[in-house]
Amino acid sequence: MIKKIVFLFLTLVLSSCTSLKYSVNSSKYKSKSYNERVRFVILHYTALNDERSITALTKNNVSSHYLVTQERYDSVYSLVPDTQRAWHAGTSSFDGYKNLNDNSIGIEISNLGYSSASKQKTANLKEGIVDTTMFYPYNDAQVFKIGMLLKELTAKYKINPKYILGHSDIAPTRKFDPGPKFPWKHLYDHYGVGAWFEKKDFNAFYSQDLFNSYSAKDLKDELRKYGYDINSTDNWDLQSKKVVSAFQMHFRPRKVDGVFDLETFAIIKALNKKYK
């Protein structure tokens, strides 16, 4: 009798379970507490030609979300979905964020990088002294495609202008790409993407007396305020010089020497005023 009751009970339980239906309703309620995975867009050069760039980014242990080749009529190649993590940034940091593969979109650009023909100039790179003439330019078709892609990504993910960066900005002690010939100002002026300083603010901060009132630590604090990962010592060691060089490649490419001079001071102050 007891066995019969247990059997009937289990039968009722199982039948009630099978009558339930499983579904996920993704339209009835929506939370307002979320943000996009994508916070940064990081630009690189491949240091390779088109063919080798494609091979490197599709068959090796490195990847990017997009590739812009040198071929004028090529499309921009989407290699990894935006929602997935590509391996392009490596050890990196900016504005308190670390390991930026997790929250960035990587754009690789087919470009040979720099010529190592001069041993002295190559040696100088390791000291944070960058000779612009060593680097290869980007062609006009590439610049157009990059500008349009950045406009699209900025609008889609609401990217903070100062979070459109070069690999050298997020890994200044080991990377130079996209190099001093990358057209940051042109992209800002003609496509409205990325960050740039206002001339009137630059002029207001271009004061030798004001500059002289800042200690090395104060100057480093300005770079850190903008987002650069720099130590807080009172001396300009090699790591600090390389951070200054990365900043100069982005915002003053005509002279990249790792020296935090008056012009560099006026630029970073103007940027920090604009992008608080």
Q: Which residues are catalytic?
A: 108
89 touches 99 (CB < 8 A)? yes
Half-sphere exposure of 106 (CA within 13 A, CB side): 26
The total number of residues shown for the chain amounts to: 276
Instruction: Please tell me whether the peptide bond between 172 and the residue prior to it is cis, using omega within 30 degrees of 0.
Output: no
DSSP lists the bridge partners of residue 78 as 66
End-to-end CA gap in the chain = 79
Q: Which strand (E) or helix (H) includes residue 204?
A: helix 199-205
3-state secondary structure of 66: strand
Structure tokens at 209: 């007396």
64 touches 90 (CB < 8 A)? no
- Looking only at the bridges linking them, the beta strands covering 93-94 and 97-98 are antiparallel
Calculate the CA dihedral of residues 54, 58, 64, 65 and round it to 10 degrees: 90
